[in-house]
Amino acid sequence: MKKVFGTMLILALVAILAVPAFAAPRGAHRPGPAGGRGPGAGPMGVGQAIPADVHTAIQTATQAAAAKVLGMTPEALRQALTTSRMATIAAQKNVHLATVQAAMKQARTQTINDLVKAGKLTASQAAWLLQAGPGSGRGAGGGPQQGPGQGAGRGRGPRR
């Protein structure tokens, strides 16, 4: 009887301690919607997310510029990028990668400026996109795309 009571007491303590740890979402103590995450919590803060159509426009323009320099159609370039890196494609086409990158950067800058003139971006959003560079936020543009664990090594270490 004592053994059953002791086991039940231990299980009750575990349940009491474990349930609150799983009930609250991670980061719930942070102010803002969804603890600083979720709708509206874009790269520039709450309510300042860059619209998806803007990212699409930038990506389309940069890929079109790269395709033109490489002597390809944008569709052919998109297809080639599913199996190869831009550097490999440029080498196969005998085009310096720096030439492709310069064309992509110019197209990206021009597209961002055009989107500001069209009222799709604010000046501060455009400045952020231009300062952040290609690959910032949803891969809008060319250049190296870095995901979690692929940066310069200044992130969090292992959890203990």
Q: What is the pLDDT of residues 107-131, one digit of tens each?
A: 999 999 999 999 999 999 999 898 8
pLDDT value of position 13: 62
- pTM score, two decimals? 0.57
Determine the pLDDT at residue 150.
42
pLDDT in tens, 12-35: 666 676 555 555 555 444 444 444
pLDDT reading at 52 higher than 60: yes
Across the chain, mean pLDDT equals: 74
Structure tokens that stand for 12 in this block: 């009750």
**Phi, psi (deg, nearest 5) at residue 149:** 85, 5
3-class SS letters over 93-140: CCCCHHHHHHHHHHHHHHHHHHHHHCCCCCHHHHHHHHHHCCCCCCCC
Query: Residue ranges of the domains in the chain?
Result: 51-136
